[in-house]
Amino acid sequence: MTRKQPPDLDGKVVVVTGASSGIGRAFVERAACPGSRFALLARRGDLLESLADAVRGRGGEALVQPVDLRDADAARTAAEEALAEFGPPDVVVANAGLSIARSVAATAARPDSITRSVATNFTGPVAHALPLLEAMRGRGTGHLIGSSTANARLTIPGWGPYVASKSAWDAWLRTAAAELAPHGIAVTILAFPLVATEMSRPTLTGRRAMSAEDAADWISEAIGSRRPRIAPWWLRAAEVANAVAPTALARAIGRSSQRLSQP
């Protein structure tokens, strides 16, 4: 498949979370160019260092930030450090996430499934984004791109921790978009379908998935178009069906989704 042309990031500051692997890494590897400046955030510092070397090898600059977004204070500090290093970003790619497929019954024995999901998929990304958004608001321009899921506005039995936390993130991004537009800041929601990454590997068997490289192309498209949402072609129809017949749709989806739940 022919890859889309990456955006011209010469002279641009880009903050990427979840940059060590998967979608985030694929995007940075494609988009790094002379004059680009990246703040790279993820938990695994060794993988970030190798990615930073690749950015520098292409004539760009890179700040490595090994941070666990579940620590909201550390997330906020990382944003402040990125601002001190590069100034207000042109683009923030809030891509980090955690996928846990677990039923209500199984979550009773693993309540941390909820707290970990909410911290990684919602409260941590928000804590990290807020200082960056404030800096962009002061400058009068910027772009926040949030990785979400096509399931954020649907009912997916067996995936409560993941879908609930991503739904909160999705709703916050929509609210932020309305509030920030008058200040010159665009917000794009990427409603990804299943993407083949290290994180999703336990649930990939027998299922079609988008490649991380194709998902990274969505980020490039978002930067170029500044569209409010990029989603699979079928999602609008699914959301209409969910509004009209939510119980029937949830039962239909649940016949396959519950088989993927973790104990």
| Coil, strand or helix at 224 | helix
Query: Which DSSP string corresponds to 188-220?
Result: EEEEE--EESTTTGGG-TT---EEHHHHHHHHH
Residues 125 and 189: beta-carbon distance below 8 Å: no
Residues 21 and 48: their CA atoms lie apart, in Å, by 9
Catalytic: which of 86, 122, 159, 162?
162
Q: Catalytic: 190?
A: no
Query: Which tokens belong to 141?
Result: 């321009």
* CA-closest candidate to residue 165, choices 152, 155, 176: 152
Give catalytic residue positions: 162
